[in-house]
């Protein structure tokens, strides 16, 4: 685009000319009525409203916008909590995974030409907001290529906060609702970091800009690099995936502390670990893999981006969870009629929609641990639940247990079974200070996908701050 001193950009499907003139607030923040989704191909009839579109991040910087899909709660939406859902990666889409495969009301099936109603959608309990962040993920975009080279945890958190501030301008009726953040995998970084930014910002804002943050929930979450990695190996050994010899070699060479994790011998041994998972689904070790001829292989072995970069492993790792429905999802969201209905891809992105970004090549910052943030927000009184699907080999239950142990919290209620529909749904332990840790029996990395009814029960109990059921009846 020629530099003429006047920027012409697309905002929510409308042409906006940004020059030296003052942009009216309503023009900048947009109107929610323009984001109402109607005529979504293959959508079953529903009585709740949903919205999708772009939110620009900063005034007069319309080159950078994040895409969202928002579902009002199925009943009593004005009094239900508002929950922001984030997937991880880094670089994977909360819409392609969370909304379309896991916990949204419309799940993509049947070769990408049909949506089915999810009986266990989380918008039965809350208003659900799915965000594609950072730029370069899904439909979220930037017109400045350099932005894609400056991505990392900090930029993601700051841009997500800017999104929320501006989204509430468009949906002010939800500002007073209880607000929670939830997510899985590398959202173990995203969610606490964003919660901390909101918490710190809330101290100095006026009432009409306050975000009513109450807590967050993270599943199969990347939390602490050393314990995450140790638990990864221990889980594989305890589930007979790696040999005794490889197990000993990895532990002897890696030791899983900051000083030795970068050891060359450690990573040589770790290649054997990765090969052990080559023929099974690391994200759900007992699930069959997709054998469809059109199923593509995408590495989503989400460990610390700094470790991946230092060893050039980001494109040489096991493909991980890649069910056939992932291909259906990509086919669906690449349809022009679907994009038009969702007010998406208004800038005509030069690359196809993908579940995990192909344009994000590097990651600038990723702290080795978010434990200090979790401690800080527990002390601030936020409700924090961590859950773990126990058949996930990528961020396994062993990793999460090691990370929680490192927090040094005192147990309040001892480890016990919790129930759903008269069956053991998992196990739970609570800690002094407000942390709850729960497992979901038989679920993989994407818990709502593998265990829809228990996951909705878990989510509902989290929102209501009620203990998980302790008996069958």
pLDDT digits (tens, 9 = 90+) for 127-179: 999 999 999 999 999 988 888 989 999 999 999 999 999 999 999 999 999 99
User: Is residue 457 in some structural domain?
Assistant: yes
User: Is residue 354 in some structural domain?
Assistant: yes
User: Is residue 154 in some structural domain?
Assistant: yes
Mean pLDDT score, 236-264: 85
User: Is residue 323 in some structural domain?
Assistant: yes
pLDDT for 471: 92
Domain around 371 = 1-241+277-473
User: Is residue 249 in some structural domain?
Assistant: no
Q: Indicate the number of domains in the chain.
A: 1
Q: Catalytic annotation on 392?
A: yes
Residue 187 parent element (H or E): helix 187-202
Residue 419 parent element (H or E): strand 411-420
Let me know: does 181 contact 373? Beta carbons within 8 Å. no
pLDDT digits (tens, 9 = 90+) for 34-46: 999 999 999 999 9
* Whole-angstrom distance, CA of residue 470 vs CA of residue 387: 17
pLDDT at 62 > cutoff 70: no
213 dihedral zone (left: phi>0; alpha: psi -120 to 50; beta): beta
Q: Catalytic annotation on 445?
A: yes
- Active-site residue, from 327, 445, 455, 461: 445
Let me know: does 195 contact 211? Beta carbons within 8 Å. no
Coil vs helix vs strand at 379: helix
Let me know: does 410 contact 460? Beta carbons within 8 Å. no
Contacts of 202 (CB under 8 A, 6+ apart): 210, 211, 213
Half-sphere exposure of 126 (CA within 13 A, CB side): 26
Paired tokens of 254? 């890696």
Q: Catalytic annotation on 185?
A: yes
- Active-site residue, from 77, 93, 121, 185: 185
Coil vs helix vs strand at 411: strand
User: Is residue 252 in some structural domain?
Assistant: no
395-415 burial: b if 16+ Cβ within 10 Å, else e: bbbbbbbbbbeebebeeeeee
CATH number of the domain where residue 67 is located: 3.40.50.1820
pLDDT at 61 > cutoff 60: no
pLDDT for 155: 95
- Active-site residue, from 50, 160, 392, 420: 392
Paired tokens of 396? 């396994």
Mode of pairing for the β-strands spanning 114-117 and 106-109: antiparallel
Half-sphere exposure of 464 (CA within 13 A, CB side): 11
* Whole-angstrom distance, CA of residue 204 vs CA of residue 439: 37
Paired tokens of 313? 């492993």
User: Is residue 253 in some structural domain?
Assistant: no
User: Is residue 263 in some structural domain?
Assistant: no
> The pTM is what?
0.89
pLDDT at 311 > cutoff 50: no
């Amino acid at each position: 685009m020629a530099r003429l001193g006047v920027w012409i950009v697309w905002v929510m499907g409308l042409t906006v000319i940004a020059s030296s003139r003052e942009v009216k607030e309503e023009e900048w923040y947009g109107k929610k009525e323009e984001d109402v989704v109607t005529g979504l191909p293959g959508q079953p009839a529903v009585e709740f409203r949903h919205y999708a579109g772009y939110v620009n991040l900063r005034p007069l910087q319309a080159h950078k916008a994040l895409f969202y899909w928002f579902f009002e709660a199925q009943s009593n939406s004005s009094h239900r909590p508002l929950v922001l859902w984030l997937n991880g990666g880094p670089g994977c889409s909360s819409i392609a995974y969370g909304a379309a495969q896991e916990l949204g009301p419309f799940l993509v099936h049947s070769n990408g030409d049909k949506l089915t109603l999810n009986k266990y959608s989380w918008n039965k309990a809350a208003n659900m907001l799915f965000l594609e962040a950072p730029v370069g993920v899904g439909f979220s975009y930037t017109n400045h290529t350099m932005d894609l080279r400056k991505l990392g945890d900090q930029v993601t958190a700051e841009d997500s906060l800017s999104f929320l501030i501006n989204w509430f301008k468009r949906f002010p009726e939800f500002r007073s609702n209880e607000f929670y953040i939830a997510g899985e995998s590398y959202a173990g970084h995203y969610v606490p970091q964003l919660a901390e930014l909101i918490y710190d910002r809330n101290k100095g804002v006026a009432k009409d800009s306050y975000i009513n943050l109450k807590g967050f929930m993270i599943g199969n979450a990347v939390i602490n690099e050393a314990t995450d990695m140790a638990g990864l190996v221990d889980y594989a050994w305890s589930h007979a995936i790696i040999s005794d010899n490889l197990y000993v070699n990895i532990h002897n060479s890696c030791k899983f502390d900051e000083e030795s994790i970068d050891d060359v011998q450690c990573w040589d041994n770790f290649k054997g670990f990765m090969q052990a998972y080559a023929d099974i689904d690391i994200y759900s070790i007992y699930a069959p893999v997709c054998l469809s001829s059109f199923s593509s292989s995408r590495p989503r072995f989400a460990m610390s981006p700094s470790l991946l970069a230092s060893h050039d492993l980001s494109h040489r790792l096991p493909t991980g969870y890649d069910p056939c429905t992932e291909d259906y999802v990509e086919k669906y969201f690449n349809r022009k009629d679907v994009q038009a209905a969702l007010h998406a891809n208004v800038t005509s992105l030069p690359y196809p929609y993908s579940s995990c970004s192909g344009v994000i090549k590097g990651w600038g910052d990723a702290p080795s641990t978010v434990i200090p943030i979790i401690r800080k927000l527990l002390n601030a009184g936020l409700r924090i639940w961590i859950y773990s699907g126990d058949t996930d080999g990528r961020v396994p239950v062993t990793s999460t247990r090691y990370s929680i142990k490192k927090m040094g919290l005192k147990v309040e209620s001892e480890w016990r079974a919790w129930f759903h529909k008269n069956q053991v749904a998992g196990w739970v332990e609570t800690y002094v200070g407000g942390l709850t840790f729960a497992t979901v029996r038989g679920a993989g990395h994407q818990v709502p996908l593998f265990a829809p009814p228990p996951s909705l029960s878990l989510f509902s109990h989290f929102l209501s701050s009620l203990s998980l059921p302790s008996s069958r009846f």
